[in-house]
């Protein structure tokens, strides 16, 4: 074609296509990056094993795993939110509120309940989960339809959930609930597997598959990556955003149940430190706060690091106040690494 | 037989600003129609109307002879008008397969697929490879993130995806801007192949050489009106520039 020669007038271009070898290299880099954070967890565990004879014991496993359970449930929900380019600051407060709400329902609606009181307990648990879902619904509607930034929405619902939790019993915890709740929360299967840990494991595996293998997971990541691309592909982005925040609220409600069951009481403050820990776990696990990237397995490893730090520092006689300092430092380092990665990839 | 896509007396005003003042044009299946014009001539308004991003103030759009109104981009695409946007609308951190199938994922045929939306990733990858190969696009690995592709490959992915959406009309908004020479050539080859499959292609472009290289017919817009329609030996660089700038007037 004679006219094709005219194309030479355009400006000289960028580099030609990416060679397959480079592609392979990039992929293995990604794999190493994911393994690297798991390696950090192993190094920390090895350090604590050397530093304390109590680290590798059943007691410490039970302690660490139940600490990890409540953080992990929040982190799993938070993984979806962060992958979608949002943030849910309310999860810890929702955990506290939903547990307290469940206990309040049991204490006020079934005041005379005694023995196992299966009916009362089920209603209480359901109430806690409904409370979590309700906050997820509120977050989702405000983010997806009102178009308010997730940071602002969930900062608002953080305050609302905290205040509502205090309002239920003048800021006091509610412990007048059937004893079977605490029994449920503190039963260890075979002496090694607490029931809450088992429940959390099942939910985590389920959600891991949901994010990695289903259309919902694919849209969650794509919304975080380019909401425009998703909208132009004809996908109802708002419906999926709503579902993402609903899932986060639901898991916060479940975490509220499990924490209430472990404590044997509904405590509005029980999730106060879990917010920071859950977000830190997700980010340490390799999710990008800019959205579009993250895995549930990464968040599991991130939660592992935080839970091991929290319980391990106590074992090597570091005052417990240093726990939050340590998690804060780890969070900042992880976000810094995340930003470095993003700058690097945007240069490519 | 009516043309694949036709617009009649299309007008659009934004407040007091008259962006389009009665544009009439058509495109046949297998034809590449260029739409050129200076900034503000109305190119992007035509694109927005055809892609369902905005409504015309007056006039009608006819697809295969029957009037259509696109409520949104998805409706336009479902009716058979697929658009490749200037920014490509790719999810950069997602792989080629995820981008190719965004919004039309293949689900497993079993219970998992129906109930949970379980993706059949193998089938999606195979389809993507086959579609890209059919259009001779050079993407070495469909598991690579979109951002790790070259500019030409990204463009090719976006065009191949849109071509996979439709068998009727493919609308390309400035597809070759910001591309290198070799990549421009690849994209033009791809446009020819899409057109050879019987799809009507509308190419909106600033790049005169590209328009000349690939278009069968070119509509020149000036001040919201059709200044000229050029084809055959009238389709020259001088004529295009003349009508775009207003140095030449009338058909």
User: Which tens digit of pLDDT belongs to each residue from A143-200?
Assistant: 999 999 999 999 999 999 999 999 999 989 999 888 899 999 889 998 899 999 999 9
- What single-letter DSSP state applies at residue B178? T
Q: Write out the E strands in A289-332.
A: none
Given a contact cutoff of 8 angstroms between Cβ atoms, the answer to whether A288 and A127 are in contact is no
Q: Does B67 touch chain A (CB under 8 A)?
A: no
Q: How confident is the model at residue A26, as a pLDDT? A: 64
Q: What is the mean pLDDT of residues A13-28?
A: 49
The answer on pLDDT for B42 being more than 50 is yes
Q: Which two tokens stand for residue A132?
A: 């979590």
Q: Does B142 touch chain A (CB under 8 A)?
A: no
Cβ-based contacts of B94 with chain A (< 8 Å)? 218, 221-222, 225, 292
In Å, how far is A231's CA from the nearest CA of chain B?
8
Q: What angle do CA B8, B9, B12 make, to 5 degrees?
A: 120
Helix (H, G, I), strand (E, B) or coil at B141: coil
Cα A81 from Cα A212, distance rounded (Å):
14
Q: Do the Cβ atoms of A14 and B89 come within 8 Å?
A: no
Which of the residue ranges A67-76, A106-115, A305-314 would you say has the lowest mean pLDDT?
A106-115
Q: Is B198 on the interface with A (CB under 8 A)?
A: no
SS3 content of chain A, % helix, strand, coil (to 5): 75, 0, 25
- Distance of CA B192 to CAs A147, A320, B30, B75, B109, Å? 42, 69, 9, 26, 35
**Phi, psi values for residue B25, rounded to 5°:** -155, 165
Q: Residue B156: pLDDT above 90?
A: no
Does the beta-carbon distance from B150 to A17 stay under 8 Å? yes
Q: Minimum mean pLDDT among A33-42, B169-178, B186-195, B198-207: which range? A: A33-42
Computed over every residue of chain B, the mean pLDDT equals 89
| pLDDT for B35 beyond 90 | yes
The token pair at B46 is: 């035509």
The answer to whether the Cβ–Cβ distance between B144 and A225 falls below 8 Å is no
Binary contact (B89, A228; C-beta < 8 A): yes
Q: Is the pLDDT of residue A24 over 80?
A: no
The confidence score (pLDDT) of residue A198 equals 96
Contact B31, B200 (CB under 8 A): yes
Q: Does B192 touch chain A (CB under 8 A)?
A: no
Nearest CA distance, A249 vs chain B (angstrom): 20
| Largest separation between any pair of C-alpha atoms in chain A | 93
C-alpha separations of B140 from A23, B113, B149 in Å: 9, 29, 9
**Cβ distance of A15 and B150 shorter than 8 Å:** yes
Element (H, E) at B119: none
Tokens of A202: 């099942």
Average pLDDT of chain A is 87
Name the more confident of A251 and B37: A251
Non-local (6+) Cβ contacts of A93 within 8 A are A157, A158, A159, A160, A161, A162, A165, A271, A272, A275
Optimal mutation site among B85, B91, B106, interface A, most CBs of chain A within 10 A: B91
Read off the pTM. Answer: 0.87
The answer, for B141 touching chain A at a CB cutoff of 8 Å, is yes
């Amino acid at each position: 074609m004679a006219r094709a020669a005219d194309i030479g007038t355009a400006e000289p271009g960028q580099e030609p296509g990416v060679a397959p070898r480079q592609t392979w290299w990039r992929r293995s880099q990604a794999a190493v990056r994911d393994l690297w954070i798991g390696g950090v967890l192993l190094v920390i565990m090895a350090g604590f094993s050397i530093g304390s004879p109590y680290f590798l014991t059943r007691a410490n496993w039970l302690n660490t795993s139940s600490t990890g359970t409540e953080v992990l449930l929040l982190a799993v929900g938070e993984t979806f939110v962060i992958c979608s380019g949002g943030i849910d600051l309310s999860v810890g407060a929702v955990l506290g509120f939903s547990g307290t709400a469940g206990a309040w329902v049991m204490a006020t609606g079934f005041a005379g309940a005694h023995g196992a009181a299966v009916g009362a307990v089920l209603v209480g648990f359901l109430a806690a989960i409904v409370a979590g879902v309700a906050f997820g619904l509120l977050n989702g509607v405000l983010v997806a339809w009102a178009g308010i930034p997730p940071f602002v929405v969930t900062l608002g619902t953080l305050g609302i959930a905290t205040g509502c939790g205090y309002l239920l019993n003048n800021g006091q915890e509610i412990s007048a609930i059937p004893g079977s709740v605490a029994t449920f929360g503190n039963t260890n299967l075979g002496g090694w597997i607490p029931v809450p840990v088992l429940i959390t494991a099942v939910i985590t595996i389920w959600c891991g598959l949901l994010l990695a293998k289903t259309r919902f997971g694919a849209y969650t990541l794509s919304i975080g990556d380019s909401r425009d691309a998703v909208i132009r592909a004809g996908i109802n982005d708002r419906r999926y955003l709503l579902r993402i925040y609903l899932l986060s609220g639901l898991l916060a409600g479940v975490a509220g149940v499990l924490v209430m069951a472990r404590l044997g009481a509904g405590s509005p403050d029980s999730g106060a430190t879990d917010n920071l820990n859950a977000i830190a776990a997700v980010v340490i696990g390799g999710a990008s706060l800019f959205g579009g990237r993250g895995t549930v397995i990464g968040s599991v490893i991130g939660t592992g690091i935080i839970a091991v730090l929290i319980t391990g520092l106590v074992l090597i006689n570091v005052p417990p106040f240093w726990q939050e300092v340590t998690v804060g430092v780890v969070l900042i380092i992880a976000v810094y690494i995340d930003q470095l990665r993003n700058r690097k990839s945007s240069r490519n | 037989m009516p043309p694949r896509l036709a617009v009649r007396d299309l007008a659009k005003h934004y407040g007091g600003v008259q962006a389009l003042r009665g544009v009439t044009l058509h495109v046949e299946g297998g034809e590449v129609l260029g739409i050129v014009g200076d900034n503000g001539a109305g190119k992007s308004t035509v694109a927005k109307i055809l892609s369902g991003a905005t409504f015309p103030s007056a006039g009608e759009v006819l697809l295969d002879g029957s009037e259509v109104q696109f409520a949104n981009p998805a409706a336009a695409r479902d009716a058979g008008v697929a658009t490749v946007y200037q920014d490509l609308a790719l999810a950069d951190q997602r792989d080629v397969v995820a981008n190719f199938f965004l919004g039309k994922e293949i689900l497993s045929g079993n219970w998992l697929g129906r109930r949970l939306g379980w993706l059949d990733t193998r089938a999606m990858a195979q389809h993507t490879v086959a579609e890209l190969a059919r259009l001779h696009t050079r993407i070495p690995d469909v598991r690579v993130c979109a951002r790790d592709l070259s500019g030409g490959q990204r463009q090719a992915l976006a065009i191949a995806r849109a071509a996979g959406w439709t068998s009727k009309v493919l609308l390309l908004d400035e597809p070759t801007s910001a591309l290198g020479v070799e990549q421009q050539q690849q994209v033009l080859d791809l446009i020819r192949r899409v057109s050879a499959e019987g799809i009507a292609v509308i190419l909106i472009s600033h790049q005169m050489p590209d328009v000349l290289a690939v278009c069968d017919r070119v509509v020149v817009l000036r001040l919201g009106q059709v200044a000229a329609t050029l084809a055959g030996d009238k389709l020259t660089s001088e004529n295009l520039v003349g009508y775009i700038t207003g140095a030449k007037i009338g058909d």
